[in-house]
Copies of this chain bind each other. A is one copy, B any other.
């Protein structure tokens, strides 16, 4: 597993995301890690993040988790492709979302740890396609696919 969360490698000027930015004091601080050939994040939403029906997570939270984990995954795979360690002190890598599709497979239970995984489909220049899966225990609750775009360097402004 990468020693550092991918989000903790983001340049400070780009680390304010409510979903995952280390510099957003109010946010969720999602942390994603590279584990072998996939990325993994774990998150337990607070009970207030109910969907229409109590005891299930609302769709916006699910999309948020996939979104933040997806761009983190894209950065992780760019580091990997370049033979670099995440947060190696060189020019940081930061992707943003161009497109995100979420398929809600079943209601996502609230009050349990959710696991989000990201798999690289392709990485070509500044474009990364990431496949995403959100599970609760053995249940696959949502899947996603993201097109992420790498910000031009330098991103440490």
Q: Measuring CB to CB, which residues of chain A are less than 8 angstroms from any residue of chain B?
A: 10, 13-19, 21, 24, 26-27, 48-54, 58-61, 63-65, 67-68, 94, 96-104
Q: How many copies does the complex hold?
A: 2
- Which of B10, B48, B98 lies in contact with A18, CB distance below 8 A? B48
> Are B60 and A16 touching (Cβ within 8 A)?
no
> Are A104 and B94 touching (Cβ within 8 A)?
no
> Are A101 and B100 touching (Cβ within 8 A)?
yes
> Are A64 and B59 touching (Cβ within 8 A)?
yes
Q: A60-B63, A64-B60 are in contact. Are A52 and B15 (CB under 8 A)?
A: yes
Q: A103 — nearest CB in chain B belongs to which residue?
A: B99
> Are B103 and A52 touching (Cβ within 8 A)?
no
> Are B63 and A50 touching (Cβ within 8 A)?
no
Can you list 22 pairs linking A and B with CB atoms under 8 Å apart? A13-B53, A14-B52, A14-B53, A16-B51, A16-B53, A18-B49, A18-B51, A18-B58, A18-B60, A18-B61, A19-B59, A19-B60, A26-B48, A27-B58, A59-B100, A60-B65, A63-B102, A97-B102, A97-B104, A98-B104, A99-B101, A99-B103
> Are B101 and A50 touching (Cβ within 8 A)?
no
Q: A18-B58, A99-B102 are in contact. Are A94 and B64 (CB under 8 A)?
A: no
- Which of B16, B49, B64 lies in contact with A50, CB distance below 8 A? B16
